[in-house]
Chains A and B, each alone.
Chain A
């Protein structure tokens, strides 16, 4: 476990590259302590994810504008014993130098996983930023050399891999799905990219339904299927900007729509439209119908699993059998439907709300 001050036990001598993942993790944590000291102390933020309270401990403010906006709706009061602590810093703003990694360029696997540095206890991924977790100590690190070079998607879905690693051990599973609903229950909306998940979810902003996510949510199965919000960000294809006028004040990248999807951070302007979670009453798979009106029709559970599982499994490193089983259990336990999306987006939330009011 990371010490509050001073050097850690078992830290290798400077210049010695240790190939033990747990020892390298400690070595990296030591650099966080150096960064923390360099900036005069750390800043903590606490968030509720999947029913657990996580602490994000920042050495300096450089990463905060990137990491925190998409999680703002989940912020909660400090607790003395968070379930997971993530240490975040960059070298450029703190001056804390990272040791050379004890692996070579040949050791990178899919997703940026590092061969030899992933075990039951330690997980390591390096893709622009270093993501490591010690699942025994419930500590993780997110380090990037320069916060100004943080990839675009790290602000939309911050720390997703670290959250996945930890939540997966606690019967919570990140799925590739949107979710909208009300306190008594809602729907998970899943499908391949471009199917209409984001359009469906974001069209509910300002309606009688609350928004819990447009691409990534957390599900649990027992005691009842439940969806927890993960991010209050949302994305739309740039050509769809303007189709939902109420979102315009939340658009964060208006100057780069030629190269990126439109990114919305909804907390500031739409916090009353956000939900942190609700029981799942149904799974919807959207498809563009071309008709004006939106409609719903039953769909097989198996074909719903085909829409839900691959996108969920292949977007996250190490998502496997447990996650797949949870998704299969979900589509067995709740009814599944095709949501035939109409061209009149204002009708989408009305159709879903009517569906839910008949079932809650």
Chain B
């Protein structure tokens, strides 16, 4: 992975919301959803804000105590996982980092550094079956399928 790469959210397949410092991400295509807390949510904001990997690492070093190599590895691992899951893709067009994030640098100068914790991408797959179900289409003499999805015909009918 090129460290200077920028990334963007893989829209419209992926949607996301940040609520009270926690990021909830949904991959509509795969039926997976995710949550990110703490440093994971912070890295997410920087990534989708257009910051490159080195920029993210530099930013985290101003906010957290920790070994540069450990933080670099953590950021690269997180970005790699987000790519593998199809959540983000390389932003080949490139762009300036979000102005809001640039503004944060100035106000971050006096903060007390916290201990850096390794970010975790929590992944949930319990919904993917809904998308993987294959519609059953047995055709009748009209050429139209008339069987319910996964419901045996005798059990799937209505009382009369």
A-side residues, CB < 8 A to B, are: 65-66, 91, 97-98, 100-101, 105, 108, 110-112, 126-128, 130, 144-146, 148-155, 192, 252-253, 255-256, 259-260, 300-303, 305-306, 309-311, 313-315, 320-321, 324-325, 328, 331-332
Task: State how many angstroms separate the Cβ of B28 from the closest Cβ of chain A.
Answer: 6
- 19 A-B pairs with CB atoms under 8 Å apart are A65-B158, A91-B142, A100-B142, A101-B143, A101-B144, A105-B137, A127-B135, A127-B149, A128-B146, A149-B146, A150-B157, A153-B148, A253-B159, A302-B23, A302-B24, A306-B35, A310-B33, A320-B28, A321-B15
Cα–Cα, bound, A338→B136 (Å)? 38
Q: Is there contact, CB below 8 Å, between A128 and B148?
A: yes
Cα–Cα, bound, A101→B147 (Å)? 16
The interface residues of chain B lying within 8 Å CB-to-CB of A331 are 19
Task: State how many angstroms separate the Cβ of A143 from the closest Cβ of chain B.
Answer: 9
The interface residues of chain B lying within 8 Å CB-to-CB of A148 are 157-158, 160
Q: Is there contact, CB below 8 Å, between A192 and B157?
A: no
Task: State how many angstroms separate the Cβ of B78 from the closest Cβ of chain A.
Answer: 18
Q: What are the interface flags for B114-140 relative to A under an 8 Å C-beta threshold, 1 for contact and 0 otherwise?
A: 000000000010110011010101011
Task: State how many angstroms separate the Cβ of A273 from the closest Cβ of chain B.
Answer: 24
The interface residues of chain A lying within 8 Å CB-to-CB of B147 are 128
Closest 5 A-B residue pairs measured CB to CB? A302-B22, A151-B148, A328-B17, A302-B19, A314-B127
Cα–Cα, bound, A252→B159 (Å)? 8
Range for the number of chain B residues in contact with chain A: 35 or more
Indicate whether A108 sits within 8 Å of B137 (C-beta atoms), given known contacts A66-B158, A128-B148, A310-B33: yes
Indicate whether A301 sits within 8 Å of B20 (C-beta atoms), given known contacts A108-B137, A152-B151, A320-B12: yes
The interface residues of chain A lying within 8 Å CB-to-CB of B33 are 306, 309-310
Task: State how many angstroms separate the Cβ of B85 from the closest Cβ of chain A.
Answer: 15
* B155 within 8 A of partner (CB): yes
Q: Is there contact, CB below 8 Å, between B143 and A302?
A: no
Cα–Cα, bound, A100→B140 (Å)? 11
**Contacts A112-B149, A306-B35 known; 15 new A-B pairs at CB < 8 A:** A97-B142, A98-B144, A126-B144, A126-B145, A127-B149, A128-B147, A153-B148, A259-B155, A301-B19, A306-B33, A310-B33, A310-B124, A315-B130, A321-B15, A328-B24
* B153 within 8 A of partner (CB): yes
Q: Is there contact, CB below 8 Å, between A324 and B17?
A: yes
Centre residue among B35, B137, B144, B160 by max chain A CB count within 10 A: B144
Q: What are the interface flags for B6-21 relative to A under an 8 Å C-beta threshold, 1 for contact and 0 otherwise?
A: 0000011001010111
Cα–Cα, bound, A239→B40 (Å)? 42
The interface residues of chain B lying within 8 Å CB-to-CB of A150 are 157-158
The interface residues of chain A lying within 8 Å CB-to-CB of B146 are 128, 144-146, 149
Indicate whether A302 sits within 8 Å of B148 (C-beta atoms), given known contacts A65-B158, A145-B140, A315-B130: no
The interface residues of chain A lying within 8 Å CB-to-CB of B11 are 321
The interface residues of chain A lying within 8 Å CB-to-CB of B157 are 148-152
- Of all chain B residues, the one with the shortest Cβ separation from A331 is B19
